[in-house]
Amino acid sequence: MKPSGIGGQAVIEGVMMKNKEQYAVAVRKPDNQIVIEKSTFVSASEKYTFFKLPILRGMLAFIESMMIGMKTLTFSASFMEEEEQVKTSKIEEKFSKIFKDKAESVAMGITIFFSIIMAIGIFFMLPTLIAGLLVKRIDSNVMLAVIEGAIRILIFIGYILAISQMKDIKRTFMYHGAEHKTINCLENGYELTIANVKKQSKQHKRCGTSFMFIVMFISIIFFIFIRVDEQWLRFVTRILLVPVIAGVSYEFIRLAGRSESKIVTVLSKPGMWMQNLTTKEPDDHMIEVAIQSVEAVFDWREFLGLEKEGAKTSKSLGKHNRKSSGKSNNKTKNARKNSAHTISHKELEEDEKIEEIEKLEETKNIEEFEQKLQEETAVTTEKGAAASIHSVVDEEEEDEILRALDRYLIFQEENKEEDRPK
């Protein structure tokens, strides 16, 4: 598998694909048309090399991916709002008046902030609180950390199962499957067609679901070694270590996307199994949307080397044609020998006469070739004559010779009519 570097995300009735600084969102509108919006996003790591360091780049990537994700979700949702004709609330109107042109950015920032707070509260604080109730019964800090991690994973699975019952989320999970299948199609070296994409796996090592699972798994390791007795200190350490755990998890996902190591593959399996909950088999229309999203930001033909192969094929064909033209006489001679049953046996056995016919053929002198062929062959039937000429003439001259033969046969028939007694 060849890494493409493409990342993606399922949105409402669409797919977002990102390649370096460019990303595109393809959305199928209610009227069945596909709308594509292409944008650029320059990472803070391009401005501040500090964020290119391991762990730190993962922390930054997590935040920036949420920013892009919220923006693309808002874009895709706008088409559904147009169809439903959603009225703007008074709060939204006042918000727009206060922040004016920056209203959307501010709203997105607030949404991301509360999303992070909710995620930390549900997936980190709640398991810590539940595990804290068992402190008096379990003395082992290692066991408590494992129990806390298990509770965290169970809450995550329960959350996914709960939201997957919603109709809109089910369709989003189908688009998630289309996103994975499309990227897998490219990275496995296949052309980007609906038929090829359908055959691919809906699991991918660099999936966000795998990332979340790795976060929870690594948190168990962190909290085994970081021990505090006070409950409030446990909460503080959990909050402070979330960015670090996310950074470490990002490094593993990044490695998994590039490595074919058996160890990395085995470690990636639990996260990929979890993807069975967040990805569903897409239909052809969803795959079409994902393909168009990729094509907006990624030259997959160049990635697969199809343009170079096309040039190589043209050169190879040119060489083959030049070699074939040099060998055509030998092939013609062998063809005549193999089809000798349709031509006069005695004459075909005479090499001199065969060579003479070949010379006439090379000069493309049709009339003289016909005359010589009549002298050297016994044409018993029209079908036999056509078969004979078909076997002794190169494919490039076949049509021309057959037309000449047709004229000759017509001439013969006319002569027969004139010679008949009246």
Residues 158-180 pLDDT 10s: 999 999 889 889 999 999 999 99
Over residues 187-203, mean pLDDT: 94
Confidence (pLDDT) at 388: 44
The answer on 346 and 280 residing in a single domain is no
Q: Is residue 236 part of a domain?
A: yes
Lowest mean pLDDT among 263-277, 283-297, 306-320, 379-393: 379-393
Q: Which of 275, 304, 333 is the last residue of a domain?
A: 304
Confidence (pLDDT) at 352: 57
Q: Is residue 311 part of a domain?
A: no
Judge contact between 234 and 228, C-beta under 8 A. yes
Q: Where are the alpha helices (DSSP H) in 205-283?
A: 208-225, 231-258, 262-278
Q: Is the pLDDT of residue 198 over 90?
A: yes
Q: Is the pLDDT of residue 348 over 50?
A: no
Q: Is residue 317 part of a domain?
A: no
Q: Is residue 116 part of a domain?
A: yes
Over residues 16-26, mean pLDDT: 94
Structural domain count of the chain? 2
At residue 416 the predicted structure's pLDDT band, cuts being 50, 70 and 90, is low
Q: How many CA atoms lie within 13 A of 307 on its CB side?
A: 5
Angstrom distance (rounded) from CA 371 to CA 357: 10
pTM to 2 decimal places = 0.68
Instruction: Name the CA dihedral angle for 134, 163, 219, 273, rounded to a multiple of 10 degrees.
Output: 110
Lowest mean pLDDT among 69-73, 82-86, 241-245: 82-86
What residues form DSSP beta bridges with 16?
9, 25
The answer on 284 and 331 residing in a single domain is no
Instruction: Name the CA dihedral angle for 179, 206, 70, 161, rounded to a multiple of 10 degrees.
Output: 80
Confidence (pLDDT) at 292: 95
| The two three-digit tokens of residue 369, written as one number | 């070739």
Q: For residue 243, which of 124, 376, 388, 398 has the smallest C-alpha distance? A: 124
Confidence (pLDDT) at 91: 66
The answer on 335 and 297 residing in a single domain is no
Q: Is residue 315 part of a domain?
A: no
Confidence (pLDDT) at 357: 57
CA distance readout (Å), 149 to 62, 154, 219: 21, 9, 7
The answer on 327 and 253 residing in a single domain is no
Confidence (pLDDT) at 359: 56
Confidence (pLDDT) at 343: 42
Q: Is residue 2 part of a domain?
A: no
Residue at 96: amino acid letter: S
Confidence (pLDDT) at 227: 81
Judge contact between 258 and 207, C-beta under 8 A. no
Confidence (pLDDT) at 328: 46
Q: What is the pLDDT of residues 53-63, one digit of tens each?
A: 888 998 898 88
Q: Is the pLDDT of residue 113 over 90?
A: no
Over residues 341-354, mean pLDDT: 48
Over residues 72-98, mean pLDDT: 70
At residue 329 the predicted structure's pLDDT band, cuts being 50, 70 and 90, is very low
Confidence (pLDDT) at 176: 96
Q: Classify the C-alpha dihedral 259-260-263-265 as positive or negative.
A: positive
Q: Is the pLDDT of residue 208 over 60?
A: yes
The answer on 413 and 361 residing in a single domain is yes
Confidence (pLDDT) at 347: 44
Q: Is residue 294 part of a domain?
A: yes
What residues form DSSP beta bridges with 26?
15, 36
The answer on 243 and 124 residing in a single domain is yes
Judge contact between 285 and 26, C-beta under 8 A. no
Confidence (pLDDT) at 346: 45
The answer on 363 and 240 residing in a single domain is no
Judge contact between 9 and 72, C-beta under 8 A. yes
Write the DSSP string, 180-224.
Answer: HHHHHHHHTT----HHHHHTS-S--TT-HHHHHHHHHHHHHHHHH
The answer on 29 and 63 residing in a single domain is yes
| The two three-digit tokens of residue 302, written as one number | 């160049």
At residue 301 the predicted structure's pLDDT band, cuts being 50, 70 and 90, is very high
Q: What is the pLDDT of residues 259-290, one digit of tens each?
A: 888 898 898 999 999 999 999 999 999 999 99
The answer on 337 and 273 residing in a single domain is no
Over residues 215-233, mean pLDDT: 87
How many CB atoms are located within 10 Å of the residue 356 CB?
A: 13
Confidence (pLDDT) at 210: 92
Length in residues, the chain: 422
The answer on 341 and 236 residing in a single domain is no
The answer on 344 and 218 residing in a single domain is no
Quote the domain boundaries for residue 359.
Answer: 322-419
At residue 308 the predicted structure's pLDDT band, cuts being 50, 70 and 90, is low
The conformational region for residue 344 under phi > 0 = left, psi -120 to 50 = alpha, else beta, is: beta
Q: Is residue 177 part of a domain?
A: yes
| The two three-digit tokens of residue 53, written as one number | 């360091």
The answer on 345 and 254 residing in a single domain is no
